[in-house]
Amino acid sequence: MTGRYDFALRLGDDALIAAQRLGEWTTRAPEMEEDIALANIALDQLGAARLLLTYAGELEGAGRDEDALAFLRDDREFRNCLLVELPNGDFAVTMAKLLFLSAYQLPLYTALTECGDERLAAIGAKTRKESAYHLDHSSLWVKRLGDGTEESRRRMQSAVDQVWPYTQELFAADPAAPVDPAALRADFDAVVFPVLDEATLTRPEAGWAPAGGRVGVHTEHLSYLLAEMQVLHRAHPGANW
Amino acid sequence: MYGNDFSPPEDAPGGGLLGEVEAAEAALREAAIRSRRGGAPEPGVDLEAYFTDVIEADQKIEPRDWMPEAYRRGLIRQIAQHAHSEIIGMQPEGNWISRAPSLKRKAILLAKVQDEAGHGLYLYAAAETLGIDRDELVQLLLDGRQKYSSIFNYPTLSWADMGAIGWLVDGAAIVNQVPLCRCSYGPYARAMIRVCKEESFHQRQGFEILHTLAHGTPAQKAMAQGAVDRWWYPSLAMFGPPDGDSTHSAQSMAWKIKRFSNDELRQRFVDMCVQQAEILGVTIPDADLRWNDERQAYDYTQPDYDELMRVIKGDGPCNRQRMEHRRAAHADGAWVREAAAAYAARRAANNMEKVSA
């Protein structure tokens, strides 16, 4: 069962951790245009995170703003899905993660626009346009890599196989949430399957389904990510930046 | 989202210089309207003299115009090095994206580094109008045969360095680049107008970071001062060697690529910074800095030009690291670029088949 606070926090954490990972690509992308694109997407995710965390803080009513929520919670208090905290890996892993994330966020944000909560609806209206761009960008790359060279195809298939199990956590049923994630699965499949087919990739079988992010039981990766993200903020309690 | 909630006084960063950029933009438009020469010069005209006339008349040389080979080569070198600087210059600031102390600062920094990549692309495109392609230029950088600005070989050791880079490094870049908005080569002048506008915004952001720190906790103040202490002289050195030792200057001035000497621009920068340092509440680390009434300018201690030469030659604190990072990104991405090319080629071939079927 989920209140609006938990729901906004989940979505905000997904976006924040995704932004942190995408930001790591800066200066490391395969081509300069892609450096710009990845920074652009990171910036969109960060913007969504700020709106969602700010709202979550207001719903909580304990005086926590976006920075208190981002920088002063420990890993056990983060509610992001495991998918977004996975390391970047090679470019194929990053594109597989981005494809799955945006194919989940697009119908989610779209559904938010009709959820009855005005703030969430407004956030959904803004962010779904960005998600559509992220989805377009990642779909194109998955196709290029899947249907590119032998090497890129091998890497893209391996990335999809590696990341796929983590998509299942995204759709765990929660009828009490403003948008029930289980209701998004069909939209996700309808977008992702044709992309994988066109990329000439094999669709992975359902099987191992790691989960735990939504209740604060994460992979070993998150604590390191937070250590880096929070180090400066935590070193200067109460400071303004 | 990235708005400044801090409004600096009128003569704070960007103010007057941004006005100069806008004036240069207007001048560029006027030069275009003054329909300068009815197309190409008549056959048999002395091209060299014709070129000189165009420069004298403050009109722009465009990609298809005849130009002396040395003008073309010099511009390629300068614009490419400028582009390389934008690309390498993403690294010192990129170093703090993951650790930015607030979400707002993280967003601003990400947007700034993204702008720098955009400036790099824009400048490479300007260089390409001179008949060389970007891949070649990138290879020259990776092989160490073309340089980038010496400043990016210094490390970013604290968050305050994001402020000092914005205020001092971007500040020096703007002072250097504003006159280039009037340079004789059209595509470069137009690129500089666009770049300067964004740089001016970046400089304000840096100023704002430092201002916040300098008015913060004792630890933040120390951080701000420490960053200014480390970045002051490297920023002064960005204007290049003193006029007497500058190899490209005379010709560049004659061709109206450069319009002021290194020392003139350096002086302008110092004069600008002294006032701003007062507003910021930081001290410029030069005990001999003082107003000279006779010259109506500040006297200041010159940067260590031997250090500048060492850094330019590859022995600065981060030269090896910056180059290794860029080479690694390029090498690691090779399979992705190859895949994109193979995919595009296959799609093109398929389309051809469809057309002929």
Report the alpha-carbon distance of residue A93 to residue A98 in Å, rounded: 9
**List of domains in chain A:** 4-202+217-235 (1.20.1260.10)
Name the residue facing A39 among B87, B113, B209 (closest C-beta).
B113
What's B185's DSSP letter? B
Q: Is A43 close to B114, i.e. CB distance below 8 A?
A: yes
The pLDDT score that the predictor gives to residue A123 is 98
Q: What is the pLDDT of residue B14?
A: 53
Residue of A nearest to B135 (CA): A31
Q: What number of helices (H) and strands (E) belong to chain B?
A: 15, 2
Instruction: Say whether residue B112 is in contact with chain A using an 8 A CB cutoff.
Output: no
Low-confidence ranges of chain B (pLDDT < 70): 1-15, 34-40, 248, 357
pLDDT of amino acid B249: 77
**Phi and psi at residue A146, to the nearest 5°:** -65, -40
Q: Which of A180, A182, A169, A158 is nearest to A215 (CA)?
A: A169
Contact B103 A49 (CB under 8 A): yes
* Residue whose token pair is 């966020």: A105
CA dist A7 to A17, A67, A79, B79, B241, Å? 16, 18, 9, 50, 59
- The residue in chain A having the minimum alpha-carbon distance to the alpha carbon of residue B103 is A67
Contact A29 B343 (CB under 8 A): no
Strand intervals (E) in B183-227: none
pLDDT at A195: 98
Give the global pTM.
0.94
Per-residue model confidence (pLDDT) at position A46: 98
Residue of A nearest to B346 (CA): A148
Nearest to A148 among B114, B325, B339 (CB): B339
Asked if B217's CB is within 8 angstroms of A36's CB, the reply is: no
Closest CA to B275 of B90, B6, B12, B65: B12
Q: A–B: how many Cβ contacts below 8 A?
A: 141
Amino acid identity at A190? A
pLDDT of residue B246: 74
For B107, the closest of A43, A90, A238 (CB atoms) is A43
CA distance B92 to chain A (A): 10
What is the DSSP annotation of A175-201?
TTSSS-GGGGHHHHHHHHHHHHHHTTP
| Tokens matching residue B170 | 């971007």
- The single-letter DSSP state of residue B292 is E
Terminal CA-CA length for chain B? 52
Summarised one tens digit per residue, pLDDT across range B194-242 is: 999 999 999 999 999 999 999 999 999 999 999 999 999 999 999 999 9
Q: Which pLDDT score is estimated for B311?
A: 97
Q: How far apart are CA B159 and CA B99, in angstroms?
A: 8
Task: Decide if A32 and B338 are in contact by the 8 Å CB cutoff.
Answer: no
Residues of B in contact with A36 (CB under 8 A): 114, 117-118, 121
Q: Which residue has the tokens 């210059």?
A: B89
Residues 131-150 of A with CB under 8 A from B: 143-145, 147-149
Match 């290029």 to its residue by tokens. Answer: A144
In whole angstroms, give the CA distance from residue B177 to residue B163.
Answer: 20
Give the C-alpha distances (Å, rounded to integers) separating A65 from A14, A59, A72, B16, B161: 17, 11, 10, 37, 26
Beta carbons within 10 angstroms of residue B24's beta carbon: 21
Residues of B in contact with A195 (CB under 8 A): none
Question: Is residue B216 within 8 angstroms of chain A, CB to CB?
Answer: yes
A72 shares contact with chain B (CB less than 8 Å): no
> What ipTM did this prediction achieve?
0.98
Closest CA to B273 of B166, B115, B161: B166
Contact state of A91 with B336 under an 8 Å Cβ cutoff: yes
**What distance in Å separates the CA atoms of residue B297 and residue B144, rounded to the nearest whole number?**
38
Say what the pLDDT of residue B10 is. Answer: 46
Confidence (pLDDT) at B40: 65
CA distance B91 to chain A (A): 6
User: Is any Cβ of chain B less than 8 angstroms from the Cβ of A215?
Assistant: no
Q: Which residue ranges of chain A lie beneath pLDDT 70?
A: 1
Q: Which residues of B fall within a CB distance of 8 Å from A20?
A: 98
Q: Which residues of chain B make contact with A39, given a CB cutoff of 8 A? A: 110-111, 113-114, 117
Beta-carbon separation of B220 and A239 below 8 A: yes
What amino acid occupies position A180?
A: D
